[in-house]
Structures are given as structure tokens and as C-alpha cells.
Amino acid sequence: MTAASPPPPGAPPPPPPKPGMLKWILIGVGTIVVTALVVGAFILGRRGADSGQGAPVAAPSKPSGPPSAGATVEGMPEPPAPTPLEDIPLQGLPAVWVDVYAPARVRQALVGNAWLQEQMKKPLGQGFASSWAAFFGTSGEDLKASFKEGVFDVVAGRLLDVPFRMQWFVGPEDATAPAFIVPKAPAGATAAFEAMEQVARRGGYTAKECPSGAEPSVSMPEGGFVISRWLVAEQSLYAGRVGDRLVLARQPAMVLRGLCAGKLALEAPEGVDLELGFQHEHLGRELALLSHVLGMKEETRLGFAAEGSRLVARGIAGKLADEVRLDTAPLSDELLKLVPAETPVLLALQLKLPDTLDAARIQAYWRGDDEGKVLTRQVALVWTPRGDAALEHEFALLWGRPDDAPALERIFNGGNKLFHSTLCGHRVLSSSLEVLQRVQNACEGQSPNLLNAAGPVVAGLRAPGSVTLGVNTGQLLGQLAADGYWSEQRLGRKAPVPKSAPPEIEAARRDLETLPFVGLRGTVKGDSLVPGGFGS
């Protein structure tokens, strides 16, 4: 067992889909989602307060001659014919997704968010949006199109103005960009699609079959799938349509995956406008193992709602297996004293385990053969993700029963050394002495801890729950931004290392660090986790 991914004790490991994928998926998804929201907000600022209904899009005018998928600009050459898509990838496994159930409300929250709109005027927002601002900001008049609105009004106002999914796949041929899938496009969305086809299509690809491993919910169109390349302002976006399913993506292979994906039923839970979902078994050994230990079924979903100009947490939802190993209890003040206030990610569990953690009892417990006494351990992971592949992730495991120390020494005895101590009534195992010192300083009151957090955050952490996830988004994104900047510096071996980042990078980090704390909670009730949310 290594220190980089300590599993709970005694759990039989399921087969790993792809080692190390979880760490990079979580960082990548977070970065991509934030980028998508920032880009959207930049363009949405042009739409005004009534943007929720979407701008009307004129259907493409009927050509007088033979039908053409090319531009309608007089004198422009016909676009090249689609070419066969070579090296069709495997379908990949659906691993992470974002379901947007109420696009109008989510857009309106972004439009009305003062912090986000202010950042669009600064290098932080301009850096995120610069490559796509010209694409989405181009107007129909610029394209000599049959519509007058901007490209963004067509894409977001009609194509993505109904429930849609952003889907990431993992497999042997991964791609970090998602496929945007509209499973049930109404007539207005298909008209917008055809309008873009008329003016932006510049060639594309065809595919005679779905990727291997796909279980498509659409019928193969006559002549195969057609994937169009939309070119606007020197930026390419790929698109495809079969029946009432529309798909957009940065790569043609991702469009094909989206067209060939299984049936999607985008049914919003009550009070939820957006969900982030994970398929445990497809995200690597760590998450698969954790879900097995907790007795959670295939997927977990994090729900959010658009309230005014904010996205607020609604909680953690998911189905549970027959053997539920989670209890319900509030987080103790002793635990909250151990967690440094600047911690980016906190995952806390109320975990039921045998009263003694000897090997025979644990093995029998996982088999369901142990009928002995069970105790609930309060367990928390304090985690600092890093945005540079050369940096180790920093973590501490907080174990709520110090009497288990000998068993923990035996269980966590891998090649990567962990540092042990007993602090604030918990056994602490940390990845480094520096992390252990931070936890000790928080425990002893020498530095702020979570008891010093905003009142709603402390109240939310103290509420009874089974699984609690706290994300200090300001600290998380600020640290990832700084790490990302330094990781991209290509300094020569003889070049001096700068003492500090440029002023605009430091300013961006400070702005990011003002973002709020987001808390999500799931509480066992029957065979499900009942969601609850809180934040600053």
C-alpha cells in the first residue's frame, strides 16, 4: 500500500480500470468546467437580462439551386466534401458528466454574478475566454447568414437551451474535452443547427459505424454518420445530428462517441438545476475502492441550484448497496479543530467497522460473516491537490479513534512513508512532516481552523450527515492556477528562476481566493443518500 492512495482498512480491492486516472480526472474536470462557465459568462454578458428565453433564430433560407451544406456567402467556394474518419477510437467508458437541467436559470445566474462579470474585464477572465471569444462573438451579419444574432445566441440560445449533458469518457484513447449531448432537441434547436450548417460548415468527416463497445440509442443513418466542422474566426467546433440528438465537441471522435452513447434520461431531481456525476468503477482504483468500502452503488451525483446570481450546493445523492457501512452523525468540534482553514478539499465519513481491526475480523466483516460488535469511526481526508505533475499531492488522514493506532500502523505500512501523531483526540497520518505541522498548528489554535470559518459553514459541518464534502473553491482554484503557471514555465538550465510570479498572475490568484466555501452532504436514508448543501 502506498502513501499516495491509502485505502480504508481491509477492503478487498476491485480490479483497477486505469491507475492514477482519478487524480487527473478530478483536476481536469474542475478546470474544464470552470473554463466553460467563464467563457459562457463572458459571452452571456452581451445578452442582457432577458437572455433566459434565448434569441430567436431564423431558419436557413431555401437555396434556389441544388441543396448545399456550405456557406451562403456569394463568391465563397463550396466547402470540401467530408472525408472518412480514420482510426475510430473505442467508445470509452462514461466517467464524469455534467447534466444541465435548466440552462436558462444557470445562464441567468452567470449573467447576474458580479464577481464573474468583473473578472471578464481582467486578465484572469480574458485568459480563459480569449480563444473562443471571437468564435462565439461573431454575428450572423459577419457571416452573411440567414440569422442576424451572434453565434453564441444560436448555440446557447437554441442548441443548448434545453436539458443537455457534458460527457467525459475514459479509455485507451482518452480526450480531455467533453461531448455536449442534447438527447431530445426540439424543432427550434434543429433549425439552429441547420442555420449554423449553412454558414459555418467547412468540411468534416463521415463514419460508417459506431466505436467498438458502444450501445447506441440512435439508428445508423443511411450513408453513415456525418460530422461537420464548423469554422468561425479560425476556431473549429465539430457537430453531428441523428434524429433529435445533437452533439457538439472539440474533436470529431468525441462527436461520434456522443452520437453513439446510450440512452440519456435527463430528469431533474426536485430543486436541482445542475448535477455533476461520477461513475465510480470507471475513474480508477481509488474511487472504486472507496465506493466499495462505503457500500455505494455505481454512481454519485453532486447537485446544485441556480438561485439569483449564484450556484448553490444542494448535496450528495446516490444509491446504496444492501450492506451499508455508513452511519449518521455530526462532525465533532475536535475534528473541525484539526482541519486548517485554508484546506482546499475535505472529505469526511461516518464509517462503521468492527470494534477491533485485526485481520481476521476485517476479512470476515467484508465477507458479511462477522456478527461481532461494530463501532462508528469518524474519518476525514484533508487534501491539497496540486496543479503540477511534478508535485506530490498533500494529504492527512484524520482517524477518530486513537485506540486504533497499532492497527493503522500495520495497515498503512507501504513503501511511501506516512507520519503519525495523536492530535485533538484523533490519530493523524500525513504525507509529510510539513502537512503534519499544519494540522498540529490548527489543532493548537496557532493558525485558523474550520471552527473559525463562516457561521453557515460551521453550522453545515456540524449538521448530522454520513458523507460530507467541503471544497474551499478559492484556495483550490488559487493554488491550481499558481501551480499551473509555474508548471508551464520553460526555463533554460542556466536561466535564473524568478522569485515571484508576474503581477497579473498574483492578482488572478488573489481574485480566485475570494471564492466561497461549498459544502455538500449526503445522509443515509433507506437505500439512498439524501442530499443537503451549505456554504459561505
Give the three cell numbers for residue 459.
453550522
User: What are the tens digits of pLDDT across the range 339-368?
Assistant: 999 999 999 999 998 888 888 887 788 777
Q: Is residue 315 part of a domain?
A: no
Indicate the residue among 218, 235, 259 that finishes a domain.
259
Indicate the residue among 211, 239, 259 that finishes a domain.
259
Q: How many Å separate Cα 370 from the centre of its chain?
A: 38
Q: Are residues 467 and 366 in the same domain?
A: yes
Indicate the pairing of strand 201-207 with strand 83-84: parallel
Indicate the pairing of strand 245-249 with strand 274-279: unpaired
Q: Is residue 288 part of a domain?
A: no
Least confident of 28-42, 200-214, 414-428: 28-42
Q: Are residues 239 and 346 in the same domain?
A: no
Q: Please state the rounded mean pLDDT for residues 394-413.
A: 90
Is the predicted pLDDT of residue 44 greater than 70, yes or no? Answer: no
Instruction: Give the per-residue pLDDT at 483.
Output: 80
Nearest to 515 by CA among 37, 8, 194: 37
CA distances from 230 to 157, 200, 285, 341, 471 (A): 17, 5, 38, 46, 37
Nearest to 163 by CA among 246, 41, 42, 251: 246
Q: Say if residues 238 and 248 touch (Cβ distance below 8 Å).
A: yes
**Predicted TM-score (pTM) of this structure:** 0.79
Q: Is residue 349 part of a domain?
A: yes
Highest mean pLDDT among 5-19, 394-408, 472-486: 394-408
Q: Are residues 253 and 378 in the same domain?
A: no
CA distances from 456 to 383, 387, 452, 460 (A): 22, 29, 11, 6
Q: Say if residues 336 and 449 touch (Cβ distance below 8 Å).
A: yes
Instruction: Give the per-residue pLDDT at 422.
Output: 96
Q: Are residues 145 and 36 in the same domain?
A: yes
Q: Say if residues 102 and 273 touch (Cβ distance below 8 Å).
A: yes
Q: Is residue 423 part of a domain?
A: yes
Q: Is residue 11 part of a domain?
A: no
Least confident of 10-19, 87-96, 296-305, 462-471: 10-19
Question: What's the mean pLDDT when you consider all of the chain?
Answer: 78
Q: Are residues 101 and 243 in the same domain?
A: yes
Domain of 233?
24-54+81-259
Q: Are residues 327 and 233 in the same domain?
A: no
**Which is more confident, 110 or 74?**
110
Q: Please state the rounded mean pLDDT for residues 95-121.
A: 87
Enumerate the β-bridge partners of residue 376.
Answer: 352
Q: Say if residues 159 and 182 touch (Cβ distance below 8 Å).
A: yes
Specify the 3-state DSSP secondary structure of 47: coil
Q: Is residue 202 part of a domain?
A: yes
Instruction: Give the per-residue pLDDT at 38.
Output: 37
What percent of the chain shows pLDDT beyond 70? 78
pLDDT band of 15, cuts 50, 70, 90 = very low
Q: Are residues 210 and 333 in the same domain?
A: no
Instruction: Give the per-residue pLDDT at 90.
Output: 81
User: What are the tens digits of pLDDT across the range 171-189?
Assistant: 766 566 789 999 999 998 8
Q: Is residue 374 part of a domain?
A: yes
Q: Say if residues 205 and 252 touch (Cβ distance below 8 Å).
A: yes
Q: Are residues 334 and 241 in the same domain?
A: no
Q: Are residues 255 and 327 in the same domain?
A: no
How crowded is residue 138: how many other Cβ atoms within 10 Å of its Cβ?
A: 19
What percent of the chain shows pLDDT beyond 90? 34
Is the predicted pLDDT of residue 471 greater than 70, yes or no? Answer: yes
Indicate the residue among 220, 235, 259 that finishes a domain.
259
Q: How many domains does the chain have?
A: 2
Q: Is residue 247 part of a domain?
A: yes
Q: Say if residues 461 and 470 touch (Cβ distance below 8 Å).
A: yes
Instruction: For 382, list phi and psi in degrees, rounded to 5.
Output: -100, 120
Highest mean pLDDT among 63-77, 254-268, 496-510: 254-268
Distance CA 47, CA 155 (A): 13
Nearest to 515 by CA among 462, 454, 459: 454
Give the three cell numbers for residue 411.
495497515
Q: Please state the rounded mean pLDDT for residues 435-455.
A: 95
Instruction: For 511, list phi and psi in degrees, rounded to 5.
Output: -65, -45
Q: Are residues 340 and 475 in the same domain?
A: yes
Task: Tell me how far apart the terminal alpha carbons of the chain are, to the nearest angstrom.
Answer: 37
Q: Are residues 354 and 237 in the same domain?
A: no
Q: Say if residues 369 and 412 touch (Cβ distance below 8 Å).
A: no
Distance CA 254, CA 111 (A): 29
What letter represents residue 407's amino acid?
Answer: A
Distance CA 429, CA 417 (A): 10
Distance CA 97, CA 168 (A): 6
How many residues are given for the chain?
536
Helical axes 21-44 vs 285-294, angle rounded to 10°: 100
How crowded is residue 172: how many other Cβ atoms within 10 Å of its Cβ?
A: 8
Q: Are residues 50 and 131 in the same domain?
A: yes
Q: H or E segment at 286?
A: helix 285-294
Instruction: Give the per-residue pLDDT at 357.
Output: 84
Q: Please state the rounded mean pLDDT for residues 471-479.
A: 89
